[in-house]
Amino acid sequence: MRLISILSRVKTKRLAKRWILGWAAAFGLMAIPSEAAGQITITTKDMFTKEGQYYKMYSNFVGHFSEAPQEEVDVFDYIGEAGEDQVWDFREGPEDELIRFDYVKPSAIDTDVEFEGATLVERATYDSTGKQKSLFVDLKPGAGRYVYGFHDESIDKENPAIPFNGRLLDFPAVIQYDDEWKASTSYEYVTRSELLDFDSPTKIVYESEMKVDAYGIIMLPGLGFHDCLRINEVVKNVAFVKIPGVIDDWQEAITQFTRNYYWLSKDMGIVAQISSYPDSVPPADEFSVASALWRQFENNHGKSTETAQPVEGLELSLDPNKKRILLSWKKAENTVEYLVQYSDTLGADSWRELKKTTGNFVLDDISSEKHRFYRIVSLE
């Protein structure tokens, strides 16, 4: 979830970099350490997680806090295709708006509303007006980034602090190519109509489906080129309203869909974003006109210093019936998750995912296999 979309809105992976391979056979077990490389992985520490961090983005004029109309932007040449080894060039683009994202304490936001659970605020400042929006978040190792609500005067100037009815997990702790996840929440505010001279309670039911559908290289203004993942998100917003004295129960008013693309890079978080116009049906994967195009051009994230330690102490145990195998290992420091893979041939393209886990053991059914190789990756 990004502030702009609340309502409308390469083949190297810095893994633990030490893999443990295990071989299970009918007459014995053995484990062999090995070095290898994989696909790019984004983890919690690649996002902005500390007070004092910031990044800046260029954008088309999105019309927040302004009577001026929103300016559409042609994005056909930016979106590109799904799949492996893609190249996206964001060096040139609209610069009508400059948005600075600062990470501050929740106490820095002027509100009496408590966003219970939030430990950090992503505060966006729009250079054209000086106005601000704030997203209340918490980043949990092993889980990801939770969003607890937002502060936005453009939605309700009298009561701009809007907590969610349930926290929203927008970015998991570990993000890899082909990953998929869903998130949902709801929130309420008051729609104030000067024309009709009444206030209407409004509830938004927010549902998001996200898939990492591509990876490759992204080129950015002033920042060079970087490995990245692309996330394809479809957001469904269902609005319900009440009209005091006329309609006392929630009545569905409108359903809108928005498609967002996010590009994420190591130690830089979200480096680019494209958002479609809202529609009554999910927008197509490829669209030519967007409501927003954002490109990162500056940040102070710095290179992450905490590195996941190698996986050690792998043990493989076969059950008496020789139908299941238990893999266990010692937990490594600075590790948020483990990726367990297997291969029956040890071919270069034969590795398959068995399971991701935050624990330190996995069971595998090998009743139909004569032998199997395993490798366990410690994800930072």
Encode pLDDT of 328-368 as tens digits: 888 776 677 788 888 887 665 567 788 888 888 898 887 66
- Residue 198 shares a structural domain with residue 262: yes
165 belongs to a structural domain:
yes
Range of the domain at 367: 19-38+306-379
pLDDT digits (tens, 9 = 90+) for 157-172: 889 999 999 999 999 8
- Residue 318 shares a structural domain with residue 210: no
Rounded to an integer, the average pLDDT of 8-37 is 36
228 belongs to a structural domain:
yes
Instruction: Say which CATH number the domain at 327 has.
Output: 2.60.40.10
Tally the domains of the chain.
2
261 belongs to a structural domain:
yes
65 belongs to a structural domain:
yes
Flag the least confident range among 96-105, 133-142, 221-230.
Answer: 133-142
138 belongs to a structural domain:
yes
HEC secondary structure over 61-112:
CCCCCCCCCCCCEECHHHHCCCEEEEEEECCCCCCCEEEEEEEECHHHCCCC
- Residue 312 shares a structural domain with residue 292: no
pLDDT score recorded for residue 338 = 83
102 belongs to a structural domain:
yes
207 belongs to a structural domain:
yes
pLDDT score recorded for residue 267 = 92
The yes-or-no verdict on residue 309 having pLDDT over 70 is no
The yes-or-no verdict on residue 18 having pLDDT over 80 is no
- Residue 34 shares a structural domain with residue 47: no
Three-state secondary structure call for residue 118: coil
Yes or no: say if 44 and 111 are a contact pair by the CB < 8 Å rule.
no
CA 9 → CA 6, 49, 55, 377, distances in Å? Answer: 5, 23, 20, 36
The yes-or-no verdict on residue 70 having pLDDT over 70 is no
- Residue 191 shares a structural domain with residue 324: no
- Residue 63 shares a structural domain with residue 190: yes
Task: Using alpha carbons only, give the angle 157, 98, 45 rounded to the nearest 5 degrees.
Answer: 90
